[in-house]
Amino acid sequence: MTTMLPLLLLLLPALLLADKTPQNTHDNPWGEYAAECLVDKVPDLWDESRIEKTWYKIDLDAEEHDRWREVATEFSTRMQSAIDVAAEMANSFGGDGAWDALVGLMVGCPDKLTEPYRTEIKAMADLTGIQLEQLTLLNLFYEIAAMCTSLVAVNHEGQVFHGRNLDFGLFYLWDTEEHTDLVVQYEFIKDGKLLFKAVTFAGHLGVITAVRPGAFSVSINTRFGSSLDTMTNFFLTGLEPDQQFVVYANRDMMTNCATFEEAKDYIENIGLLRRAYFTLGSPDGGIVVTRAFNGTDHEAIINTKDPNGWYVLQTNYDWNEPDIFLDDRTNPGNHCMQKLGRKRVTKEGIFQVMSSQTTLNKATVYTTVMEIKTGALYTFKQECKDPQPAMLPLLLLLLPALLLADPSPLNTPDNPWGEYAAECLVDKVPDLWDESRIEQTWYTIDLDKEAHDRWREIATEFAPRMQAAVDVVKEMADSFGGPGAWDMLVTIMVGVPDKMTEPYRSEIKAMADMTGIQLEQLTLLNLFYEVAAMCTSLVAVNHEGQVFHGRNLDFGLFYLWDTKEKTWDLTLRLRDLLVQYEFVKDGKLLFKAVTFAGHLGILTAVRPGAFSVSINTRFGSSLDTMTNFFLTGLLPDQQFVLYANRDMMTNYVTFEDAKHYIENIGILAPGYFTMGSVDGGVIVTRAFNGTDHEAVIDPKDPNGWYVLETNYDWNEPDIFLDDRTNPGNHCMQKLGRKRVTKEGIFQVMSSKTTLNKSTVYTTVMEIKSGALYTFKQECKDPCWFPAEPVMLPLLLLLLPALLLADPSPEHTPDNPWGAYAADCLVDNGPQLWDESRIEKTWYTIDLDKEAHERWREIATKFYSQMLALRDVFKEMTDDFGGEGAFDVLVAMMTGVADKMTEPYRSEIYAMADLTGIPIEQVSLLNLFYEASGLCTSLVAVNHEGQVFHGRNLDFGLFYLWDTDLHTWDLTLRLRDLSVQLEFIKDGKLLFKAVTFAGHMGILTGVRPGAFSVSINTRFGSTIDAMTQFLLTGLEPDQQFVLYANRDMMTNCATFEEAKHYIEDIGLLKSAYFTMGSVDGGVIVTRGLNSTDHEAIINTKDPNGWYVLETNYDWNEADIYLDDRTKPGNHCMQKLGRKRVTKEGIFQVMTSKTTLNKSTIYTTVMEIKTGALYTFKQVCKDPCWFV
């Protein structure tokens, strides 16, 4: 059953593979990614040796072929490489064939260009051999995609300097190095005289950055805005009179205009195919011209009479709008220029500013500094060292809300959130309380009536809207989990209503019957409300003793973004389902409530003269309780949170009785119950089976006159992206006890970020009178949204695995993982070593035989298992990447086998021939293993000097969950493909290994009496190395990790030789090599081209008798959801050096979480004897998944 999440692929590389993550604080929310001005902070960065020295002459009097011959000859290979990467990007975004479609659009385009560009582009294509349409597309591609910073500044001596950072490549799936290799400096000459100098990209005929000595300088920055109309017209009819491409217009200006005034006049008036910012410098000043398609929208001019007017600076945002929050380069740039000051405006000073983050960032290709009067132009290729984002991956998550909001935030160091910041409306705007906005409709729920009659009015009126909500949740589930995810969840609901208590069992069936909505879908919707509400609740007492209860119900975050309404689609749907109920019994009012039509529980309610309540979600896994419910139903004294709330409202008359009930009832999800009484209030922080904390109103305390709860515990802060507690408390303090009224509380609840994009409604209740006022809320732009479920996509990914697991015991603060916690079996169970479980079958790989004969037995015996694995991989790939994704990957493998070294080239051909599996598919599966193994490896030495090597091979995580067997489908398939091999040469055993049938490399092996090895994945991008391999093959002294391992096992006779080889060989993927010798061991942490660290056994150290590696560097912790290092070390310490035997090591390797759902096998090796024991492993429920 597919439960995959495309968003995971988006977030994983940046989240898991980053070298560092920011340390966020309220004063520095960006942590290490924050803007950093290097003025006065580091020595001068100006370095003459870094300045680009090469200049190419472009003689405008020469024929076009001769004009560009030198550039074409030198850069043609790199230009083709850039085109190939652009094609990969286009096909990745737009699907297979997208690049070809774009190229097809370019047919005839060169003939629509003006001279000299028409002739030049044809000459460049002719000289380089690059298809004319591809070269045309690359020229247009540069037209629209540059993100830059430009500035012009005048010092006290009147010298004018122009600084420019060219940022390019953001979101285009390759790094800026592709463009750095194409950076060229030109000297354009005519009649034997220099016209201007420029820096641009080889193959591009326009000009991006340039200076005309003694006259003017220019740099172009992209201005956001659609060019669809102008580009369409160009494709259909060509250029209009007095119309030009931006970068060609720039070159025309540099060629034809002799003075700053002429240049400025030209650039103000020429028709453009794209909007842009032109930053122009003159010998005595400068200007930023903000251009539309057919006119100038604004000009910012240097005015040295103004104390701050000695410079102009432009990024990619208009003069009257701020940068968006996640791309603030203007404020840091201005801050750094002010810090530099006019006195220090020199080429060195400007470079210092341009090299400061975030002006410098991951997308920066080069910095250029120009001096207009002299015409000097200095170019530095730039590289922004970590930590510095090329835009955080979170941007892609937030993009719909951020880019579609009007307007965007104004960020400052004191207010990093800009217009998205918290804003308390107390004393800031008139009273927002508006009687006309209060919901007037009340529905009576008569508890004395039969279930159908009780809910008939609601079912009749709201059925279409309930179905709409179901449809939105279905769309969301299928978007996150793949087609069929919703149907799978609905299937899980079969029989669930019968496990509910009365009256909910009868009521949900009645509601399904009356609305026509499938019973299981309605059940799922009820459980959905149970776990997903993000809210703010408060209770406050004024000086007169009146108690008011305020509540914002936030729901719908990340459940599909509505681009028209600029909010979450589910939030909109739920607003339409909002209902107010009066529950009556024996003809008398019991309580009032506000909730959603179709849901039978209670979120917010008041019992007049007695108490009020609102529920907020508390983060925490409900895996155990929900699993038990699905398997066996509710336990005695156990209830769903929202049904428990209704039971409390129905059955208890006093605040004390209600509080006692809610403190003690067993619940299926943790929660915060905010309760008001006629004279006070409390927040009850509930766990599953007890109360963890209570915050009680104490009017004797100057600050104790209210309590406030969002979704975080009393002893922990809100996460950075979802701080509602601090703004809420600040606003309550500003309101003060004197002004606690229904109107005052509503003013607080309508203040951002308490009010946000996912807020459905605000309710204010007065306990003594029983008044309940509900306002549907809408947070107008600019408005933030709470971001606590940053892990929500991951939750949906794991849900099937988590909910379908067998029951496990209760989580506690000391053991938050419950039965999924690490569990060391040393001294905690019987000895698990079992000779009967050891794999007995060995296959001989004779390296003296021809490739077909060498692998014939494996190919024959494992053919069907290899096909099954291929099919699982195809299904997973197509689920992630869309139908046809697997075929795209296979197509990319064309010719890959020929790029491999021997013997792997011949062996892959032989395996494909023997099995009938296409060679491209065999190649793909071999590369697939290269990148994906999650493992634990260790080497330990006992007091007798015996060395044992333990290894768990974990593989298959996130590759389709098998709902029947409760494990990863790929893990199952690979278990069937595990093979033990004895490699021999000249009739003698070289080494033993365990790997997967069909793969030619080695994961785990031992060379008797010499050394052992196991490889663990090290997180890190392989895009550069793999792209280079696909384009040009392996470099000298470079190898795939698993093939390098086999080469080492084959060719190195001693541990020292093997270690030396593995320390130095170039790799296509970083990795951890755990190696054992006859008297010790080492973990070699490998980068692509060198060794980053070694951890060596040192038996003189009391704790140095072993080394252990999972998938994390020596200086970093395991991520929270995958902590195997600490449990492994704990278990090794518990085992102790005295008990290091093959049996003892196996006991450790079989302990959770070293053993987990993705574990395929455990191998234990003894180096001196060369013994290798393999056990296929299955982690029985309850067992963690990673």
- Supply the residues annotated as catalytic: 935
Give the list of residues 6+ apart from residue 660 with CB closer than 8 angstroms, or none.
none
Distance CA 1046, CA 1057 (A): 14
Which of 582, 921, 540, 556 shows the shortest CA–CA distance to 739? 540
Query: What is the residue whose two structure tokens read 């006065």?
Result: 40
Q: Give the count of beta carbons closer than 10 Å to the beta carbon of residue 26.
A: 10
Structure tokens at 1007: 């060379």
Q: Is 911 buried (19+), middle (13-18) or exposed (0-12) by CB count in 10 A?
A: buried
Distance CA 677, CA 655 (A): 6
DSSP per position, 920-983: HHHHHHHHHHHH--EEEEEEEE-TT--EEEEEEEE--TTS-EETTTTEEHHHHHHHHHEEEEEE
Largest Cα separation within the chain, whole Å, is 104
Distance CA 1040, CA 1052 (A): 17
- Cβ atoms 154, 367 nearer than 8 A: no
Local structure of 182: helix, strand or coil: coil
Structure tokens at 441: 């409709």
Crossing angle of helices 347-354 and 330-340, rounded to 10°: 150
Strand-pairing partners, residue 992, are 982, 1006
Hey, what amino acid is at 771? A
Q: What angle do CA 360, 366, 372 make, to 5 degrees?
A: 105
Tell me whether the omega of the peptide bond preceding residue 800 falls within 30 degrees of 0, making it cis: no
Query: What residue spans of 257-404 are helical by DSSP H?
Result: 260-269, 330-340, 347-354, 393-404
Q: Is 29 buried (19+), middle (13-18) or exposed (0-12) by CB count in 10 A?
A: middle
C-alpha to C-alpha distances, 563 to 400, 405, 442, 940, nearest whole angstrom:
7, 9, 32, 58
- Cβ atoms 285, 300 nearer than 8 A: no
Tell me whether the omega of the peptide bond preceding residue 213 falls within 30 degrees of 0, making it cis: no
Q: What angle do CA 301, 303, 306 make, to 5 degrees?
A: 135
Q: Is 49 buried (19+), middle (13-18) or exposed (0-12) by CB count in 10 A?
A: exposed
Which of 994, 1030, 1024 shows the shortest CA–CA distance to 1162? 994
Which of 1177, 1178, 1174 shows the shortest CA–CA distance to 993? 1174
Give the list of residues 6+ apart from residue 1085 with CB closer than 8 angstroms, or none.
1018, 1072, 1091, 1092, 1093, 1094, 1095, 1113, 1114
Q: Label residue 856 left, alpha or beta by phi (over 0 means left) and psi (-120 to 50 means alpha).
A: alpha
Query: What residue spans of 882-933 are helical by DSSP H?
Result: 885-892, 904-915, 919-931
Hey, what amino acid is at 224? F
Local structure of 194: helix, strand or coil: strand
Backbone φ and ψ for 719, nearest 5 degrees, come out as: -70, 160
Q: Give the count of beta carbons closer than 10 Å to the beta carbon of residue 864.
A: 10
HSE (side-chain half, CA atoms, 13 Å) at 611: 25
Distance CA 607, CA 655 (A): 9
